[in-house]
Structure 1
């Protein structure tokens, strides 16, 4: 690939907003198959708002910043590849966004645009809302994160700061990725309890986790390091204490290899759309000023489940 192609900016036509009282965007690329606008429309229709979230499939940050300046814009969801790149262009960040080092939601505070990270809440609420006995399932126990990217940082933050896991096991094929996550989290004040579990034998000697967040694609392990990471996961899943695992990979299907192994081992599997739903509800809390309890949580889950079932056909 030439350097010219690598730096090519993809711009889309400005969406039509003439029929709306207020509007927001989903800014990212590619996003054609995103369920986000459908999700948010369900919320706005329930609240009686003539609002919509519109797709902005673009890599042109200047276009996005220009569109944000419209006084009718309530904010935006931000997805790849912009979660880090947008930060220098914002007026402020919430503590969550600073701690994770990534922004997935932009909201207005007066004339200023503030970035936050609702993925953290999405992860935590997936466990809190779906596990019947949180105290006995994951309370006071170690957590674990499978993966080593930006999603892993949000997962660690959720486990430590929002779910009270003082110890979090990091499971990943690439030691340098884990080192980067640990270094980042320590610098932000929530990484002292992170432990890189690199071998199955090391896992054998550790207390079993109660909550696991899987942040890796659904591919069978091929390299020896990938196979060892899978063995580490299987050791933890096989321990006497059975917890809950959030499988963040849900496209094209949430029924991944890790989900199947976890279910067979007796663990509760929480599909990744739960994290999407709760992070989106948290975003709407910023945008609408309404509390999550005022939003149609059950209806949103029904709509997303129906959409997901279509994808499986």
Structure 2
């Protein structure tokens, strides 16, 4: 189906809604985002919905969101960076991470302006906040570890550095050039202090054990030499005496990943990636509905997401 045809279908769907937003990205067929937000809107008795826009066509997107009943969008790959030049205003998180996952509107001088934020960092922070009973003994004043070298890794570094009271942050990844780019970007934006590329087994053996880990890689078995080395380094760090908490960001097609199960066997508390999805989504709706987090149905959302994840897992058996 072409984008223009899909957009036309969405115009028909919008007719029964009071307000709507978009999920703007590609490969979004199985995204849980529209389902998550619908749970919230149904709880609040709002005739709102999030509509999928499977596209990278920014001009189309910018035209569609001008509709008076549109209140914003979730922005996913490959559009998180591409949208930045079109924003009239950005939050600190959006500007510092260099990526926007949430578009919302504000009024300025009688005009509706396009604003962007990054709730991915909130999803990471709150995944630890709501799932770790004693942060002080778990990860405060300890090293942290980020596995991966993409946009999610940058968000993890930002959250760890800004809110989670960690010391140095170890970076483990299959590609050294990606790590160099992450360090360069984070440093240029003011939160790159204490980033350390753990690139060898020897470094991992000598390193102090981390307290918080954020894994930002797909759930795929290591194949290349770089991937095998990165997994070996990760295992050495997981084997350290101190056992903290690991957020496994991957949740598609299942949040129960091989790396998560490995960490759990080694004594770590594993936080499923659906937690990050839930908390970033709830944060999005604080912008869109004007409600505080406390006024949104967090427990209902968690139960609904757990049910649909279990259903999908059962369907694959």
Q: TM-score range by the shorter chain?
A: over 0.9
Residue 154 of structure 1 corresponds to: 155
SS of match in other structure, 1:195: strand
Residue 282 of structure 1 corresponds to: 283
Residue 107 of structure 1 corresponds to: 104
Segments of structure 2 that go 5 or more residues without pairing to the other structure are: none
Residue 74 of structure 2 corresponds to: 77
Residue 243 of structure 1 corresponds to: 244
CA distance in 2, matches of 1:72, 1:303: 27
2:14 matched to 1:13? no
CA shift, 1:219, in A, is: 1.3
- RMSD of the TM alignment (CA)? 1.2
SS of match in other structure, 1:130: coil
Of 48, 53, 56, the residue aligned with 1:56 is 53
SS of match in other structure, 2:68: coil
CA shift, 1:218, in A, is: 1.1
CA shift, 1:10, in A, is: 4.4
What per-residue deviation string (whole Å, max 9, x for no partner) do you get for residues 160-219 of structure 1? 012122311000011000000000000011001100000121011111111100001111
What per-residue deviation string (whole Å, max 9, x for no partner) do you get for residues 108-156 of structure 1? 0111011111000000100110111111111111111000011110010
2:83 matched to 1:89? no
Residue 144 of structure 1 corresponds to: 145
Q: TM-score, normalized by length of structure 1?
A: 0.95
What per-residue deviation string (whole Å, max 9, x for no partner) do you get for residues 217-273 of structure 1? 111111222111111111111011000101111111122121111001000011101
SS of match in other structure, 1:13: helix
What per-residue deviation string (whole Å, max 9, x for no partner) do you get for residues 35-74 of structure 1? 1111001111111222111111122211111111112111
CA distance in 2, matches of 1:189, 1:248: 24
Counterparts of residues 29-40 of structure 1 (less than 5 Å): 29-40=26-37
Residue 127 of structure 2 corresponds to: 126
Point out 4+ residue stretches in structure 1 off by more than 4 angstroms: none
What per-residue deviation string (whole Å, max 9, x for no partner) do you get for residues 3-29 of structure 1? xxxxxx844323121111111111111
CA distance in 2, matches of 1:162, 1:281: 18
Segments of structure 1 that go 5 or more residues without pairing to the other structure are: 1-8
CA distance in 1, matches of 2:52, 2:255: 23
SS of match in other structure, 1:280: helix
CA distance in 2, matches of 1:13, 1:229: 42
CA distance in 1, matches of 2:224, 2:18: 53
Larger deviation: 261-270 or 219-228? 219-228
CA distance in 2, matches of 1:50, 1:222: 47
Q: TM-score, normalized by length of structure 2?
A: 0.94
CA distance in 2, matches of 1:307, 1:65: 32
Q: Answer yes or no: is the 8 Å Cα contact 1:10–1:59 preserved in 2.
A: no
Counterparts of residues 161-310 of structure 1 (less than 5 Å): 161-310=162-311
Larger deviation: 32-41 or 52-61? 52-61
Number of residues paired by the alignment?
Answer: 305
SS of match in other structure, 1:27: strand
